Structure 1
């Protein structure tokens, strides 16, 4: 089994890619406001 290098990406880069994918897929229009945190299903942990 050959091991592949692990690439680490920041959360900001991951969010950017998700937003870009949504724009390219037509799920999010250019210039449309981003959804609020409550609508995204993200939970804040303190």
Structure 2
């Protein structure tokens, strides 16, 4: 049961990071930079957010 919970949590992290990357990859802040330059940036955002 614990492995299943960890697996579902990991999949949630992967999918949520991917969807955030898709939604925010073209958004540009005031200095002309994007928040998520790569999927790895979005994945790091997901890890830190959790």
TM-score, normalisation: structure 2: 0.33
Relative contact order, CA 8 A, sep 6+: which one is greater? 2
TM-score by length of 1: 0.34
| Structure index of larger Rg | 1
